[in-house]
Chain A
Amino acid sequence: MIEVGTELPPLTVTLRREDLVRYAGASGDFNPIHWSDRMAAALELPGVIAHGMLTMASAVRVVTDWIDDPADLVEYGVRFTKPVVVPDDDKGASVTFSAKVDKVTEDDRGGLAEIDITAVAGEEKVLGRARAVVRVR
């Protein structure tokens, strides 16, 4: 039984430059702002930044780790509010994701849980309105 207010186990992910390169290769997104300091500076970014889609992919792990089957995810959306700056060092950037059940509803196929996800890097929220809807059995 899933109840409103249930907190999901949080997850901290560390992103290093090598992770951005690996994600660029796997996703086909080779935008240089994700690997070139020179290009990031030319566009007045604070540094090389993680792919928003990589941050989004990491965030939903809090939900897919929690449900039995990732196929039960029916909706997932985020706003990219702040970039995750990834320094060229061994430490990288850490982002902590947490999530809470905000609403339990039903549709014609059964129960649904609406889950709010929070993503924080340093002191800043890097995602806004991050929300996943999962089918509950």
Chain B
Amino acid sequence: MTIDATMVGRSYAAAESYQVGREKIREFADAIGDSNPAYRGDDAVAPPTFAFVVGSRALEQLLHDEELGLRLDRIVHGAQKFSYTRPIKAGDEIAATATITTVRKAGPVEVIMYETTLTTADGEAIATATSTLSHNRADA
């Protein structure tokens, strides 16, 4: 199994929306050692990189696409970028969709770029995440 350019455009929607809870935001802020008061309380917003956690439900779908044949332990995260329309807030219910945008190959290494859009149930844009993964298929 291998990955090629025909897989560009494949889209993976998280099976369920992500319900953002204020205690989850606090837990995440604690885990990154960030005591910013904006990340606490009823009106908490999430730290910027929390967008990756919300998007990871869609990434899981991509990782489980048997036709891609990816293995988590062979993946290195090469780059990550977020563009925010607004911060994620406690109480948000967020849908995530990941779409493969670029596939490049160098020997056994496959470089996959995908874009994850985060929107509310009503379609309000929250953020777009662009990720670059390197997958090494050597000995696979």
Binding site for B on A (CB under 8 A): 13, 19, 22-23, 25-29, 31-33, 39, 43, 52-54, 56-58, 60-61, 64-65, 69-71, 73-80, 129
Contact = CB atoms under 8 A, between A and B. Distances in A.
Interface residues of B, number: 34
B24 to A, nearest CB: 8
Given A28-B53, A79-B78, A57 B34 contact: yes
Given A75-B83, A76-B81, A77-B80, 6 more contacts: A23-B32, A27-B53, A61-B34, A70-B47, A71-B86, A73-B84
B28 to A, nearest CB: 5
Q: Among A33, A57, A64, A65, which residue has the most Cβ atoms of chain B within 10 A?
A: A57
A39 B73 contact: yes
Q: Which secondary structure dominates chain B's binding surface?
A: mixed
A65 B34 CA distance: 9
B45 interface: yes
B82 A76 contact: yes
B108 to A, nearest CB: 14
B41 to A, nearest CB: 14
Given A57-B49, A75-B81, A23 B31 contact: yes
A58 to B, nearest CB: 6
Contacts of A64: 34, 36, 38, 47-48
B79 A79 contact: yes
Interface in B52-108: 52-53, 56, 72-84, 86-87
B80 A52 contact: yes
Q: Among B49, B72, B74, which residue has the most Cβ atoms of chain A within 10 A?
A: B49
Given A13-B33, A74-B84, A31 B73 contact: yes
A69 B38 CA distance: 7
Contact of B79 (A32, A58, A75, A80): A80
B15 to A, nearest CB: 15
9 contacts: A19-B31, A27-B28, A29-B56, A54-B31, A56-B49, A57-B47, A60-B47, A75-B81, A75-B83
